[in-house]
């Protein structure tokens, strides 16, 4: 029986700890282990998605161990997008929208149009105007709106709230209405 579970958070995190450069060069031992493990999970039906890979969470990860910034278009990310395409498994990426990270993300989406990329938390620290160009240009990019509502963000980062029990930020409403099939709650 297939699971609806995800694979990838602990595996990629472990690779980052084992080899600080595991995200950049191709075919490091840590990278090979991660890819073999994730492909096994996808092939066996243990998981149906790859989540949540932290590429830029320097200031937005819930745990200090997840605070990192690595290239969003690294060799590892490209291979994860290949797995996404091969198994039709969404790849969820936690990424703050630093300009260099956005450029790298666009390069990844451009190079791997058959993969399915989900922006975890819709970019975490983004405004709708930053996400719109990504959704306009890359039909394989999606947004999940988790952790962008109160009470999760209200105390620490009220500016990151997209929706509440009673309202939806107007700029985000416009974006969701423009791309209704590209958002997940």
| Dist CA 155 CA 136 (whole Å) | 32
Contact 140, 84 (CB under 8 A): no
Supply the pLDDT for residue 163: 78
| Dist CA 73 CA 102 (whole Å) | 10
Q: What is the pLDDT of residues 2-57, one digit of tens each?
A: 455 876 666 666 665 554 544 555 677 878 888 998 899 999 988 899 988 888 88
Contact 50, 13 (CB under 8 A): no
Contact 5, 45 (CB under 8 A): no
Question: pTM (2 decimals)?
Answer: 0.86
Supply the pLDDT for residue 154: 55
Does the pLDDT at position 1 exceed 50?
no
Supply the pLDDT for residue 168: 84
Supply the pLDDT for residue 159: 67
Question: Can you say whether the dihedral through the CA atoms of 117, 133, 95, 73 is positive or negative?
Answer: positive
Q: What is the pLDDT of residues 72-131, one digit of tens each?
A: 998 889 999 999 999 999 999 999 999 999 999 999 999 999 999 999 999 888 999 999
Which residues 6+ apart lie within 8 Å of 154 measured at CB? 161
Q: What is the pLDDT of residues 133-175, one digit of tens each?
A: 999 999 999 999 888 776 655 556 666 778 777 888 899 999 9
Q: How many CA atoms lie within 13 A of 67 on its CB side?
A: 7
């Amino acid at each position: 029986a297939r699971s609806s579970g995800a694979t990838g958070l602990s595996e990629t995190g472990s690779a980052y700890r084992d080899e600080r450069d595991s995200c950049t060069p191709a075919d490091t031992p840590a990278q090979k282990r991660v890819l073999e493990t994730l492909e096994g999970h996808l092939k066996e039906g243990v998981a149906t998605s790859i989540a949540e890979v932290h590429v830029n969470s320097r200031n937005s990860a819930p745990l200090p161990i997840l605070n990192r910034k690595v290239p969003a278009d690294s060799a590892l990310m490209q291979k994860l997008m290949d797995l996404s395409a091969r198994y039709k498994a969404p790849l969820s990426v936690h990424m703050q929208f630093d300009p260099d990270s956005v450029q790298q993300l666009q390069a990844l989406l451009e190079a791997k149009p058959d993969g399915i990329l989900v922006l975890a938390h819709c970019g975490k620290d983004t405004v709708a105007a930053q996400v719109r160009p990504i959704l306009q240009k890359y039909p394989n990019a999606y947004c999940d709106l988790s952790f962008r509502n109160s009470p999760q963000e209200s105390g620490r980062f009220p500016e990151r709230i997209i929706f509440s029990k009673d309202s939806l930020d107007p700029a985000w409403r416009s974006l969701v209405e423009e791309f209704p099939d590209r958002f997940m709650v």
